[in-house]
């Protein structure tokens, strides 16, 4: 597995990481714990050393507990990223990045992850009630105390990125980014390049759509968050098949799968981009890892981007007016 550096931090990670959220929530019935641990171990064995979780993933911090148990045998050999700033109160998620809450959160995360220092600690979403400079100051103190190595922001807007970075340099910004969602190219990517911060794209496979396995007949259960997302409504799935057909065509030419093309495209955009596709299946894990070996020439990339620019993506990623939509890009 090739390696990439996260920003100017010196933190070296596998070119493709593993997003672990789906092992604890959002995509229907949860996998058996032993199966999830086996998958994480299989990722390590295949060269993945970058694992992404969060305090709020799953019931009762299920995902951090799972990741901590799975990666305990590999302490010092893997990079773990987790997140603070979203609390569950009376069954509802609320933003809270008050200094005392951050300090309480990190102690819980360190305990659940079974480590003494968090490699990469993201603010999960920007809290409009707490100035980002104040958050960065707390992080600065936690770095001095040896509880954090590096920090980042998730789904933050460019002005927040600049203000945070001025106080304590950021290693990475996590954001949705894929052939289906290219919004970060407008403002975020240029600012990250200017400041020397890496992009860590979540949902680089469009939450499964770019694998070519989802069409207008797809059904999602009530425990699958895609059932509530506009882009996964039947009419939008049908309208966006043009994108899938383009990816399938490119895959055929490269003797690859659609998922591999979608990931290779993300990797080819910048050498400081590290996608974190999630999966619960070993065959998908192997497929995703294989994308790191696919090289796209500049000509292939130019042609693909030109074709992408002619395709209009239908359907927002979050329901209008929802908490998810209100939190993004602040």
Residue 311, classed as helix, strand or coil, is: coil
Segments of the chain assigned E as strands:
3-6, 11-14, 18-19, 50-52, 79-84, 86-89, 92-95, 118-123, 148-154, 172-176, 198-202
236 in Cβ contact with 245 (< 8 Å): no
- Rounded to whole angstroms, the Cα distance separating 56 from 101 reads 13
> Annotated catalytic, 122?
no
Q: Which residues pair with 81 in a beta bridge?
A: 52, 120
265 in Cβ contact with 201 (< 8 Å): no
- Rounded to whole angstroms, the Cα distance separating 161 from 329 reads 10
- Rounded to whole angstroms, the Cα distance separating 311 from 314 reads 9
Sign of CA dihedral 134, 137, 143, 144: negative
At 317, list the tokens: 């990623």
Token pair 């819980």 in the structure block, residue? 108
Sign of CA dihedral 6, 206, 61, 46: negative
Considering the candidates 57, 121, 122, 177, report the single residue annotated as catalytic: 57
Q: Indicate which residues carry an active-site annotation.
A: 57
């Amino acid at each position: 597995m090739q390696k990439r550096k996260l920003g100017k931090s010196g933190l070296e990670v596998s070119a493709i990481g593993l997003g672990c959220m789906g092992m604890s929530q959002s995509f229907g019935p949860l996998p058996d714990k032993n199966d999830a641990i086996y998958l994480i171990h299989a990722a390590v064995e295949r060269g993945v050393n970058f694992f992404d979780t969060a305090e709020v993933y799953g019931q009762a911090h299920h995902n951090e507990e799972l990741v901590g148990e799975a990666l305990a045998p590999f302490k010092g050999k893997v990079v773990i990223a987790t997140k603070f700033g979203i609390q569950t109160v009376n069954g509802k998620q609320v933003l809270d990045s008050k200094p005392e809450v951050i300090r309480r959160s990190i102690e819980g995360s360190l305990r659940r992850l079974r480590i003494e220092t968090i490699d990469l600690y993201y603010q999960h979403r920007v809290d409009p009630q707490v100035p980002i400079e104040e958050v960065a100051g707390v992080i600065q103190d936690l770095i001095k105390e040896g509880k954090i190595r590096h920090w980042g922001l998730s789904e933050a807007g460019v002005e927040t990125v600049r203000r945070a970075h001025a106080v304590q340099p950021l290693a990475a910004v996590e954001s949705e980014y894929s052939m289906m969602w290219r919004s970060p190219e407008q403002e975020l990517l240029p600012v990250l390049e200017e400041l020397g911060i890496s992009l860590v794209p979540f949902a680089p496979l469009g939450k499964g759509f770019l694998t070519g396995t989802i069409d207008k007949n797809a059904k999602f259960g009530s425990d699958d968050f895609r059932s509530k997302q506009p882009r996964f409504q039947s009419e939008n799935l049908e309208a966006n098949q043009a994108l899938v057909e383009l990816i399938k065509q490119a895959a055929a030419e490269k003797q690859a799968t659609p998922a591999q093309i979608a990931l290779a495209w993300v990797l080819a955009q910048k050498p400081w981009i590290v996608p974190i596709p999630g999966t619960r299946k070993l065959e998908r894990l192997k497929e995703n890892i294989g994308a790191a070996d696919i090289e796209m020439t500049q000509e292939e990339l130019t042609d693909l981007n030109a074709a992408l620019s002619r395709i209009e993506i239908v359907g927002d990623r979050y329901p209008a007016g929802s908490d998810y939509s209100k939190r993004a890009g602040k």
